[in-house]
Amino acid sequence: MINIQAALPKEQFEQLLLYLRSSSWLVLFRDFVCFIVVCRYLRVIEHYLITYGVSGSIHRLYRAVAGDFVASTMQLPLVRGAVQKQVDKALDEIDSKFVHRNGLPIHHEIPEKAINPKEISHIMKTLDTIKRSDWENGRLSGAVYHGGHDLLELQTKVYGQYTVANQLHPDCFPAVRHMDAEVVSMVLDLYNGPQGSCGTSTSGGTESLLLTCLAAREKAKAERGVTEPEIIAPVTIHAGFDKAAYYFGMKLIHAPVDKKTGKVSLKAVEKLIGPNTVLLAGSAPNFPHGIIDDIEGLSKIALKHRLPLHVDACLGSFIVPFLRDLGVDAPLFDFRVPGVTSISCDTHKYGFAPKGSSVIMYRTAELCHYQYFVSVDWSGGLYASPTLAGSRPGALMAGCWATLLYMGKDGYRETARAIVSSAQKLKTALRTHPVLAETLSVIGDPLGSVVAFQSKKVNVYDLSDTMSKKGWHLATLQNPASVHLAATRLTIESIDELIADLVASVETLISSGSETVKDGTKALYGVAGSVQTAGIAKALATGFVDALYKT
């Protein structure tokens, strides 16, 4: 308790007493509410100042106000017409890129007469002629995590055996239940899960992240009565966290990363912690720049404030656990770090399992239980399910299980070695090749499979477009404008070619006088919009999703 009488000068204390005695309850209550509201706003302002600094806060305020101004300006009929024209044109481009109608058999409704399997194969062959990214030859960042043709054959066979299997009915499919449990156990072992640790399989990294946020929310609600839950995570954390916040009514507070190392600023994280914080998170590594956050540092903060700490190793999956075996001086990131309470690992990325599988792991069963859904009153009977889905594809789980056994730790270690050394070859080239080192700079010091770079000399989006013309699909990133390559098994063979094409592209851009990216340009598949067209970016992204379902 603060001793107010001792803290205030005598005169002021008497004034305070007078105010308290002479005011009615109503006035006192009004002033109290006012005080609370002011405190709240002050806290928000404090958060912004701490997180983004004075100039950063002013910049964000400006952008927010400018964004609002643009949004309301865009509602004016004249402006709306002009903007809409621009949006429509871009949407047409997106449609024509994705929706192919020429010469393709289209089914708007179920065919009245059944089509025989031979004809179906024929239709599939026709569909396979649609122009697409050349992923087989490794000219693509990430996306396809191919484990080799022999593995593909095995997966298809296993899948065929369990096509009807559903994990919702372990009594019908005990073999799949067994495989599922073994997969979680094997991945827990890989991440040094201690005695009592547990987890579940999920449909992918995003579901794993959704569940970890849900569990943290429910834990804080049950134990601390938190009703306005907040997550603190680096700006580089995967968008799955934004999705979780959106779905589960939580607030995601982004902590900045250190400009030089690309790792989350521990100071900022600690300062952002408040009474509503329910979860801290870091990546091992993050998607944009392939940087592993200082998990041990985050762990200390988490333990001090008694908060759960999630490590997103969705991308690190079957690469980061092997880094030390490969002689890389990698930091600790798994359950050996005492404050880490949950980890997500995608079996369908560098684990090479069929798409649609990931594992979410918890240090304790108690935490894991918060992600379960149980209904004891449903007229359909007692209902309990571990993840978001009800029915779950047992075939995918069987495919994942067979993959882990087929690869073995030695198989994963050797593929990790080849993948990491090809990414590191790119990193070295970017730092030492006279043309590349002069124009591009690697973000932080990535240790694994992903290497991102930016430029103060050329427009990296133009560079990405120039590379596209040579058949390469690199990932474009924003804040800061940059580009990355996530090396996969498929890119191993083509890394030298990629470096050579990168050099040629940079030379072309320099000779044509490319400028750097304008502040606020959105990374949108070659469609560049500035901060003034913030509303357009959203319309285009929505149009992109619409285009997925056009026949």
Ligand X SMILES: *Cc1c(COP(=O)(O)O)cnc(C)c1O
Which residues of this protein are in contact with ligand X, per CB under 6 A? 204-206, 209, 238, 240, 283, 286-287, 312, 314-315, 346, 358
Smallest distance, ligand X to C-beta of residue 254, A = 15
CB of 314 to ligand X, least distance (A): 3
Q: How far apart are CA 256 and CA 236, in angstroms?
A: 8
Closest distance to ligand X from the beta carbon of 64 (Å)? 27
Amino acid at 131: K
Asked if 305 and 232 count as a contact pair (C-beta separation under 8 A), the reply is no
For the record, the structure tokens of 273 come out as 């912690």
Give Cβ neighbours of residue 431 (< 8 Å, ≥ 6 apart): 437, 442
**Strand pairing of 230-234 and 251-255?**
parallel
d(CA 223, CA 6): 36
| Alpha helices, DSSP H, located in 74-111 | 77-98
Alpha helices in 147-291 (DSSP H): 149-161, 174-190, 205-224, 240-248, 266-272
In angstroms, what is the minimal distance from the CB of 293 to ligand X? 11
Nearer to ligand X, 314 or 447 (CB): 314
Query: Closer CB to ligand X, residue 395 or residue 429?
Result: 395
**Smaller CB separation from ligand X, 439 or 482:** 482
Q: How far is the CB of 351 from ligand X (least distance, A)?
A: 11
d(CA 390, CA 207): 13
User: Shortest approach of ligand X to residue 273 CB, angstroms?
Assistant: 23
DSSP-derived secondary structure for 5-23: HHHS-HHHHHHHHHHHHHS
Q: What is the closest distance, in whole angstroms, from the C-beta atom of residue 207 to ligand X in the complex?
A: 7
CA distances from residue 82 to 28, 78, 87, 138 in whole angstroms, order as listed: 54, 7, 9, 41
Helix then strand then coil, % of the chain, to nearest 5: 50, 10, 40
Nearer to ligand X, 47 or 243 (CB): 243
Rounded to the nearest whole angstrom, what is the least distance from the CB of residue 239 to ligand X in the complex? 8
- By C-beta, is 193 or 205 nearer to ligand X? 205
Cβ-based nearer residue to ligand X, 359 or 429: 359
List, in sequence order, every residue forming a beta bridge with 484; answer none if it has no partner: 452, 475
CB 144 to ligand X: min, Å: 13
Least spacing, CB of residue 546 vs ligand X, in Å: 20
CB nearer to ligand X: give 158 or 292.
292
CB closer to ligand X out of 52 and 248:
248
DSSP code for 256: P
Which residue lies nearest ligand X, judged by its C-beta? 205
User: Based on CB atoms, which residue is closest to ligand X, 230 or 346?
Assistant: 346
Dihedral (C-alpha) 226, 229, 232, 238: value to the nearest 10 degrees? 140
Rounded Cα gap, residues 227 and 208, in angstroms: 22
Backbone angles phi, psi at 300, to 5 degrees: -60, -45
To ligand X, the closest distance from the beta carbon of 238 in angstroms equals: 3
Closest Cα partner for 168 from 494, 462, 400, 387?
387
Per the CB < 8 A criterion, the answer to whether 530 and 521 are in contact is yes
Rounded distance between C-alpha atoms, residue 74 and residue 111, angstroms: 45
Angle between helices 77-98 and 534-548 (to 10 degrees): 40
